[in-house]
Amino acid sequence: MAEPFRYAHRVTYAECTIGDHIYHARYLDLLEAARGEFMRALGSPVLELQNADYIFPVIEARLRYKAPARYDDQLTIEVWMTLVERVRLNFGHRIVNQDGKLILEAETCHCCTSRDEKPKRLPSELVEKLKPFLAK
């Protein structure tokens, strides 16, 4: 497997609770941003895929919270593939802070559909771009 894609994010005040940690649901936004940049880095921006009638709705998400991320922390979000099949693709995620402390582990499961939400086979050129990032 190739090295995971890495996306940097500094925690904003708006993402935090009064307890000075990221609100649990906001991690899904961070994972989405990292996946979008991963796809862009592969040369397959999500908007380009949408315009070609491919969308990838989340059908399942599993998050394991290990430690809180706090305001102004510098996070690294790693992204890789855990499954690439005909109409399914799953992404693995790991978030660490500036000290290397593990914050979150997650997996999001997606299906490939047309814009009218009918299942659709993944484009073969996208599959080839994703394969090097597939965990064995």
Instruction: Looking at 42-104, list the stretches that DSSP marks H as alpha helix, in order from N- to C-terminal side.
Output: 46-51
- Check residue 1 and give its pLDDT: 78
* Predicted local confidence at residue 105, as pLDDT: 98
Q: How far apart are CA 98 and CA 17, in angstroms?
A: 20
On whether the pTM is more than 0.85, the answer is yes
State residue 16's pLDDT score: 96
Are 107 and 92 in contact by the 8 Å Cβ rule? The answer is yes
Assign 98 to helix, strand or coil: coil
What are the pLDDT tens digits along the chain (136 aa)? 789 999 999 999 999 999 899 999 999 999 999 999 999 999 999 999 999 999 999 999 999 999 999 999 999 999 999 999 999 999 999 999 999 999 999 999 999 999 999 999 999 999 999 999 999 7
- Domains of the chain are 5-133 (3.10.129.10)
CA 88 – CA 71 distance, rounded (Å): 35
Predicted pLDDT of residue 2: 86
Q: Enter the tokens of residue 119.
A: 């299942």
Q: How high is the pLDDT of residue 136?
A: 75
